Structure 1
Amino acid sequence: MRRMVLALYLLAQVMTLSAGAPIFPSRYGEIAKCKVVDTAMYEVSYKIVAKLYTDPKYRHLGYTDVQTLLIGKRISATYSKDILRLREVADEERKRGAELITNYDGITFPEDIFKGYPSSKELTSSYRLFAGAGYGRYTEPKPNFGWEILPETKNILGYKCQKAKGKFRGREYIAWFSSDIPRSDGPWKFCGLPGLILAVQDTRGDFVFTCTAIENKKSTPIRFWTYPHIETTRDKLRHIILRMHKQPIVFCEQALGEKIYIGNTNKNRDFSFEWLWLEVE
């Protein structure tokens, strides 16, 4: 079977038949294994609505997530809010000596992005791979979206926002930013405008980010993960991710060093599913 509607949910659950999951260090990554690199001045929440397929037959399939953007004086970080919360829960369970940790069986945006780290002109991406396969990490220069600022304006959460359009690695974007919040930042890798980006989406409608809340912060730590990662380059990680989606069961078996069985018949092991990443190129 080439496509399985719940393929991603299946892979999130392949290692458990109960409400818990065996403790794999790479399952969430321990929140205690981090270093604090800055302190947030703002905490911004974005709702993400993302598609899973380009095929018109499957365009209705997608997922939603909430992304937290923490903006410090030098560094900002974006995390999946659910994964960040479950890292905290899992750490508490580990401290209590639990043999199982709470599992998450939903779909989340797979990248944590650290802008301004390790240097002001760079960013670092931490990418969650399937099941116990771990995390890939790479550093690259901050992106240039070639923004063109347009005259159109609208209000978002009471802030006056101005429209801009840009391009980056195979996609065109429409963004709305507010100069009332003079931080050149936004969700994921988005940056480079004279104000905080409160809404942005690609013109195909595959990924839509919408700000839902902005809070002033004074003491929230910005954590950079120090648990084990595959240290690599973006191009090499891209090949790993493509292989992971082409043969997900084989990929996870190789990562875990054991067989994965699907139900009683163990059929449909050769399915694959399309991989939509924001970066087409």
Structure 2
Amino acid sequence: MKIFFILIFVFLTIIIKAQIGFDVVYEADYKLTYKDQITNATTQEDAFALLMNTKESYYKNMKKYIMDSLKLEKKVSEKSDLGIGMKYSTDFPEYIGTTIGKIYITTPISNKIFKYEEINNINWDLSNEFKIIGKYKCQKAMTKKYGRTWIAWFTEEIPFPFGPYKFNKLPGLILEVYDDKKDYIFSMYSFKKRKYFAKSANMEPKATLVNKSKIFDYQRREIADPNTYNKLIDDPETLRFLMKKAQERAKNYNPIELSPN
């Protein structure tokens, strides 16, 4: 009986630990160059950290990574001023955990936190084409996923089957991946060995579980939400102008995923 309770305790400890952090062995950092609008888009950039061990990976925006670490160290609070919030704001606030079977996504929308899961079923067609990226020999692969055709370059010299965003399941780390229109281009700029427990991996373990299709609806409605402006602007003419611009932005919305699958 005593052994039974010890096993239960160990099991619960593992679950609790998984909910609040992540055992990091390696870290790959990526730059994203992207266009979030179909027409008249300007190129923008952002950066991300991919934390890995032999069984799973955890991916988050670099600004969120820094902000969450500062929160854990009590250097900023949830009620920090607007300036700090803007400094660490990003178009990509989601946390993405990847295992061999599933992908787990947590994302804020309209000041609420949601989460959803996907079956990790991405399939790649490998090519006989190779190139050198940095000091690594890379092989080309292609897939159709989330409404786009994606081209990836991976290296077996780093034998981790992970990559930026939700891209994974290749025989080595993905160093570069982009869609065929080059609206979204991920490029690795740093790879290093790490050995620590990242407490700031998932800061929202109590997020509301929803179907992925709901997230698509929420994100598109949020872009043209009139309440965004009604709370801040009293002048009717200015409000109409901003609403028109918001509707144009919603029409030309160019997210990384054009379809749920």
TM-score, normalised via structure 2 length: 0.79
| Cα contact 2:30–2:47 (8 A) shared by 1 | yes
Is 1:260 the counterpart of 2:241 in the alignment? no
Select the residue among 219, 226, 248 that pairs with 1:241. Answer: 219
Residues 98 and 171 of structure 1: CA distance in aligned 2, closer, same or farther (over 3 Å): closer
| Cα contact 1:249–1:269 (8 A) shared by 2 | no
Counterpart Cα distance in 2 of 1:94 and 1:263: 35
Select the residue among 189, 206, 223 that pairs with 2:183. Answer: 206
Specify the SS of the correspondent of 1:248: coil
Unaligned runs of 5+ in 2: 1-17
Q: Which has the larger radius of gyration?
A: 2
Aligned to 2:108: 128
Aligned to 1:170: 147
Aligned to 1:88: 69
Unaligned runs of 5+ in 1: 1-33
Specify the SS of the correspondent of 1:104: helix
Identity %: 23
Kindly provide the CA deviation profile for residues 16-62 of structure 1, in whole angstroms up to 9, marking residues without a partner as x. Answer: xxxxxxxxxxxxxxxxxx9345311110000001101112xx13x13
Aligned to 2:44: 63
Aligned to 2:28: 44
Kindly provide the CA deviation profile for residues 43-87 of structure 1, in whole angstroms up to 9, marking residues without a partner as x. Answer: 0000001101112xx13x132110100012322111100121122
| Cα contact 1:143–1:189 (8 A) shared by 2 | no
Kindly provide the CA deviation profile for residues 198-250 of structure 1, in whole angstroms up to 9, marking residues without a partner as x. Answer: 000000111000000000111142623335423211111111111112x2342
Instruction: Give, as a single letter, the amino acid of the residue that structure 2 aligns with 1:160.
Output: K
- 1:104 deviates by 2.1
- 1:109 deviates by 2.1
Specify the SS of the correspondent of 2:19: strand
Aligned to 1:230: 208
Residues 155 and 269 of structure 1: CA distance in aligned 2, closer, same or farther (over 3 Å): same
Residues 219 and 248 of structure 1: CA distance in aligned 2, closer, same or farther (over 3 Å): same
- 1:98 deviates by 7.1
Name the Cα RMSD after superposition. 2.7
Kindly provide the CA deviation profile for residues 166-210 of structure 1, in whole angstroms up to 9, marking residues without a partner as x. Answer: 111211011100001111110000011111100000001110000
Is 1:114 the counterpart of 2:97 in the alignment? yes
Counterpart Cα distance in 1 of 2:54 and 2:178: 26
TM-score, normalised via structure 1 length: 0.74
Is 1:197 the counterpart of 2:199 in the alignment? no
Which is richer in helix?
Answer: 2
Residues 157 and 220 of structure 1: CA distance in aligned 2, closer, same or farther (over 3 Å): farther
Aligned to 2:130: 153
Counterpart Cα distance in 2 of 1:262 and 1:63: 31
Instruction: Give, as a single letter, the amino acid of the residue that structure 2 aligns with 1:111.
Output: E
Residues 263 and 231 of structure 1: CA distance in aligned 2, closer, same or farther (over 3 Å): farther
Specify the SS of the correspondent of 1:218: strand
Residues 99 and 167 of structure 1: CA distance in aligned 2, closer, same or farther (over 3 Å): closer
Residues 184 and 262 of structure 1: CA distance in aligned 2, closer, same or farther (over 3 Å): farther
Specify the SS of the correspondent of 2:174: strand
Is 1:72 the counterpart of 2:72 in the alignment? no
- 1:280 deviates by 1.2
- 1:263 deviates by 8.4
- 1:103 deviates by 1.8
Aligned to 2:119: 141
- 1:136 deviates by 2.1
- 1:266 deviates by 4.8
